[in-house]
Amino acid sequence: MELNADFDTRVVVHSDQIAWTPSPMPRVDRRMLDRIGAEVARATSIVRYAPNSNFSRHTHTGGEEFIVLDGVFQDEHGDYPAGTYVRNPPTTAHTPGSDKGCTIFVKLWQFDMDDRTQFRKDMAAELGASSQGVSTATLHHDAFETVTFTRLDAGACYENTQAGGIEILVVAGSVTEHAEVLGKGAWLRLPAGTALDIMAGAEGADVWIKTGHLIHAKPPSATA
């Protein structure tokens, strides 16, 4: 399966406007944002766990990172409330689920295959001081990519010109990019060489941003 697999084009998905589709596990549904592959895939998705649902234990051969958007995600390592950012690098394993239900934004098979750094962070707690209505936290940085969380006050502007491609998820509020309003749950991917230029809406915005990674993009079969 290929979905939004051309990394040389701008892509926007308003995730709240697309249908939920079943995953292989009962009562766990997803909205696919991009994908190369079948069930083992380089994939970006929003996944919804119904209360008392879970996935069977599995190993992250290609790595997994996710943000908890609402509810509480759980595995044998602990509870992860909304606002938590988690990196489970290649070779890690867990049994995910949720007692009360949750929604997560998750990326699979998009790691440096030599990465072995596993962690969780409260994104808001990592934010630094605000400057001109913008505060930013660096969640992860290596030679492969940079991952940040940015909070914008109402009307604040933010620009990112880092090379290697840019991807954002609007976690809260809204932003305008190229005259298009991106509300909560909107996902934008810009090709390498394209700068990000956004302005927050009247309620401000929280935005997760990843840069540098698209020039390394490969399907799972090429990275296994």
Whole-angstrom CA distances from 196 to 64, 88, 150, 152 are 25, 27, 13, 14
Percentage, residues of the chain above pLDDT 70: 97
On the question of pLDDT at 222 being above 70, the answer is no
Take residue 221 and report the two structure tokens written for it: 């079969």
Predicted local confidence at residue 221, as pLDDT: 52
Evaluate whether 43 touches 109 at the Cβ level (below 8 Å).
yes
* pLDDT for res 71: 98
Tens digits of residue pLDDT in 95-140: 999 999 999 999 999 988 899 999 999 999 999 999 999 999 999 9
Q: Which domains does the chain have, with CATH numbers?
A: 19-120 (2.60.120.10), 122-215 (2.60.120.10)
pLDDT at 173: 98
Look at residue 90 and give its three-state secondary structure.
coil
Pair of tokens at residue 79? 């509870």
The pLDDT of residue 60: 85
Q: Which residues have a Cβ under 8 Å from the Cβ of 17 and sit 6 or more positions away? A: none
Q: What is the pLDDT of residue 50?
A: 97
| Whole-number Å distance between alpha carbons of 173 and 151 | 10
Whether the predicted model's global pTM rises above the 0.85 cut = yes
- pLDDT of 170 > 50? The answer is yes
**pLDDT digits over 197-215, tens only?**
999 999 999 999 999 999 8
Which helix (H) or strand (E) is 93 found in, with range?
strand 93-94
What pLDDT is recorded for position 163?
Answer: 87
Binning the chain into helix, strand and coil, the percentages to the nearest 5 are 5, 55, 40
Q: Phi-psi region for residue 117, left (φ > 0), alpha (ψ -120 to 50) or beta? A: beta
Mean pLDDT of the chain: 93
Q: Where are the alpha helices (DSSP H) in 33-169?
A: none
Helix locations, 27-185, DSSP H: none
pLDDT digits 0-9 by tens, 61-76:
889 999 999 999 999 9
Lowest mean pLDDT among 11-15, 53-57, 120-124, 129-133: 53-57
* Residue 49 one-letter amino acid: Y
Report the pLDDT value the prediction gives residue 58, as an integer from 0 to 100: 85
Across 167-174, average pLDDT: 98
